[in-house]
Amino acid sequence: MKTKISGNPIATIRQNEAYIDGFSTKKMIKEFGTPLFVYSENKIRSNCSNFLQILKKFFPKLLVLYSFKANYLPQICEIIKSEKIGAETVTSFELELAIQLKFDPKKIHLGGVYLPEDTLKLALQNRIGLISVCSLTQLNTLIKLAKDIDNTQNIGIRIVSPKFDRRIGIVSSKDNFMKINDTLSKSPNLKLTTLHSHYGTQMMKPSIFKDNARYALNTVSLMEEAGLSIRQLNLGGGFPEATIMNNNNLEKIGKDISELIKVCGYPHLEIIFEPGRYIIGDAGILLTSVIDVNFENQRWIYVDAGTNICPIWANNNLRFFCANKINSPHNIPVNIAGPLPTYMDVLAKKAPFIKNIEINDTLMILNTGAYNLSWGTLFPFPQPPCILIKNNQLVEIRSRKNPSFIL
């Protein structure tokens, strides 16, 4: 009998051992060692399909873009591209990768706080679907560069989130939109098509998505008063891991926003979402070994994966299990620390775990598919290998890297 671990269908139990998409964690560790990132193609595809299938019911015009910053391993991105999902990029590296992987240029979007001229030139040369600006300074730079192109480039405006203390984007005001309208009138090669409002991350409640949509639609009305019109509304990402956000909540998000759009009188708008964590978060699992224990004052265990490769600031919904003693009750609080020589290298405090922990036991950390690469650090330990379970085979998509690679 196969029992799902923490609700994730790729993490199962067989005879007191954890399996990942049908593969023994013990055998994987024997072949590749620890720490080890394991990704499941089946789960990636399932998450893509589920997201598209549910939201297409509510939005006849829907564009889904994968947020490359969540996990930019090329083999991961290729799987997502094959599911007819586009690319949302924020750096020249990500943009170049999307072009190299032959994503449909019309489904490549670029936007970020820092967009150097070389990055903007690359976007213009490749005639990507959209360049989204976060400031009037970016807009003026883009206007200067667009003088040399012989086509029309679609652009978007990202507005400051209504969430408290947010700093990214242009403040939503009629005065600002009138300035933008005046500025764009001097650049016939740029066409404003899109408004972008990204509220935050790990948004657990459907009501937050609806609040963001309401704020964005109010902004669309304000833009119209300033003489601006759009055809796309980008509501960003913020979706939790697919195992965390159940289908009922995803359905409610789609239903609530689609009804709000109709009430506000904008049914013609194409809706854009930018899931990253939802697609890859629970499709990745980190395996790490216990290297020491200390139960004198508090229960502490030390593992060979630290915050350098599993950064807690990535805000993942981490779940901890003992892979080689998976049937043991996980109900005793334990603190989990990594190997870095700092008190800050703590993965979890008072996490429910097994009682009899021993050196060389294997920890299985769920929901580690997103943001570990992009938010990780270059502390001089080896970077772990990454393997992809594809067509019922283990494929090494990134080998273990010695610290010398950073020099």
- CATH of residue 48's domain is 3.20.20.10
The pLDDT score that the predictor gives to residue 161 is 86
Say which residues have a Cβ less than 8 Å from residue 364's Cβ, sequence separation at least 6: 5, 11, 18, 25, 285, 286, 287, 320, 321, 322, 323, 326
Examine residue 162 and say whether the peptide bond preceding it is cis (omega within 30 degrees of 0): no
Query: Of 142-151, 160-169, 201-210, 350-359, where does mean pLDDT reach its minimum?
Result: 160-169
pTM: 0.96
The pLDDT score that the predictor gives to residue 164 is 63
CA dihedral sign of residues 348, 291, 314, 53: negative
How far is 23 from 395, CA to CA, in rounded Å? 12
- To the nearest whole percent, how much of the chain has pLDDT over 90? 94
Q: Average pLDDT of 31-44? A: 98
Query: Of 143-157, 165-179, 230-244, 279-293, where does mean pLDDT reach its minimum?
Result: 165-179
Whether residue 383 has pLDDT greater than 60:
yes
Instruction: Please say whether the beta carbons of 193 and 155 come within 8 A.
Output: yes
Instruction: Please say whether the beta carbons of 296 and 343 come within 8 A.
Output: no
pLDDT tens, 110-140?
999 999 999 999 999 999 999 999 999 999 9
288 plus 260 within the same structural domain: no
Amino acid at 338: G
160 plus 56 within the same structural domain: yes
242 plus 110 within the same structural domain: yes
264 plus 363 within the same structural domain: no
Residue 104 CA: distances (Å) to CA of 81, 107, 109, 273, 291: 9, 5, 10, 17, 46
| Radius of gyration (C-alpha) of the chain in whole angstroms | 23
Whether residue 1 has pLDDT greater than 50:
no
Amino acid at 13: I
322 plus 251 within the same structural domain: no
Looking at 280, 301, 331, which one is the last position of a domain? 280
**Chain mean position to CA 342:** 28
Whether residue 157 has pLDDT greater than 60:
yes
CA dihedral sign of residues 116, 121, 126, 132: positive
| Full residue range of the structural domain in which residue 151 is found | 42-280
250 plus 355 within the same structural domain: no
Residue 276 CA: distances (Å) to CA of 158, 300, 315: 18, 33, 13
Q: What is the per-residue DSSP string for 42-73?
A: HHHHHHHHHHHHHHHTT-SSEEEEEEGGG---
Q: Are strands 86-89 and 108-111 parallel, antiparallel or unpaired?
A: parallel
Residue 85 CA: distances (Å) to CA of 54, 279, 390, 394: 14, 11, 19, 25
Token digits for 345?
């290298």
173 plus 315 within the same structural domain: no
Whether residue 2 has pLDDT greater than 90:
no
- Backbone φ and ψ for 157, nearest 5 degrees, come out as -120, 125
53 plus 28 within the same structural domain: no
pLDDT tens, 38-57?
999 999 999 999 999 999 99
Bridge-partner residues for 233, per DSSP?
195, 271
Token digits for 102?
């032959």
Whether residue 205 has pLDDT greater than 60:
yes
The pLDDT score that the predictor gives to residue 73 is 98
247 plus 269 within the same structural domain: yes
| Range list of β-strands (E), 338-399 | 346-353, 362-366, 386-390, 393-398
Say which residues have a Cβ less than 8 Å from residue 144's Cβ, sequence separation at least 6: none
Q: Average pLDDT of 206-232? A: 96
How far is 150 from 126, CA to CA, in rounded Å? 12
Q: How many domains is the chain built from? A: 2
Three-class DSSP category at 157:
strand
CA atoms within 13 A on the CB side of 65: 32
Looking at 261, 280, 299, which one is the last position of a domain? 280
Amino acid at 359: I
Nearest to 213 by CA among 166, 159, 278, 156: 159
How sure is the predictor about 14, in pLDDT bands with cuts at 50, 70 and 90?
very high
Residue reference for tokens 């700093």: 167
Residue 17 CA: distances (Å) to CA of 24, 27, 323, 354, 394: 7, 11, 6, 14, 18
How far is 213 from 159, CA to CA, in rounded Å? 12
pLDDT tens, 173-201?
999 999 999 999 989 999 999 999 999 89
pLDDT tens, 262-284?
999 999 999 999 999 999 999 99
Q: Average pLDDT of 235-259? A: 97
84 plus 118 within the same structural domain: yes
331 plus 347 within the same structural domain: yes
Amino acid at 266: Y
The pLDDT score that the predictor gives to residue 405 is 81
Three-class DSSP category at 151:
coil
Token digits for 209?
């998505």
At 316, which CATH number?
Answer: 2.40.37.10
Looking at 231, 261, 280, which one is the last position of a domain? 280
Token digits for 106?
């019309």
212 plus 241 within the same structural domain: yes
| 23-24 sheet: strands from edge to edge | 3-5, 8-14, 17-20, 23-24
